[in-house]
Amino acid sequence: MLDIRASSLLEKNMIHPLGPFLYTISCNHCMTVSLANDGAGLGTMWGEQVASQMLREAGFTLIEVKHVKGDVTNSYYVASRGA
């Protein structure tokens, strides 16, 4: 799974090089579209912690979050149901 590289904790995103831009997109588009369609309204910057928790709740037991050097925008999730 691929998602925006962010923390679920606002204070940890203060140094994100695209933080202000991503929060703007989140408030002006992502959250409103989600809420309008009865979604959770998580927005763009819902973060790795919430994403990992939701994957666990969906039954995945092995979850790795990977980052690619030079890519400040994306987190890559490798999730599976462990043995």
State pLDDT tens for residues 57-66.
999 999 999 9
Name the band, by pLDDT with cuts 50, 70 and 90, for residue 81: very high
Q: Residue 75: what pLDDT?
A: 97
pLDDT band at 82 (very low <50, low <70, confident <90, very high): confident
Number of domains in the chain: 1
Q: What is the pTM of this model?
A: 0.86
**What radius of gyration, in Å, describes the C-alpha atoms of the chain?**
13
Dihedral angle computed from the Cα positions of residues 51, 64, 80 and 56, in that order, rounded to the nearest 10 degrees: -40
Does pLDDT of 83 surpass 70?
no
Domain of 67, in residue numbers: 2-80
- pLDDT tens for 1-58 read 999 999 999 999 999 999 999 999 998 998 999 999 999 999 889 999 999 999 999 9
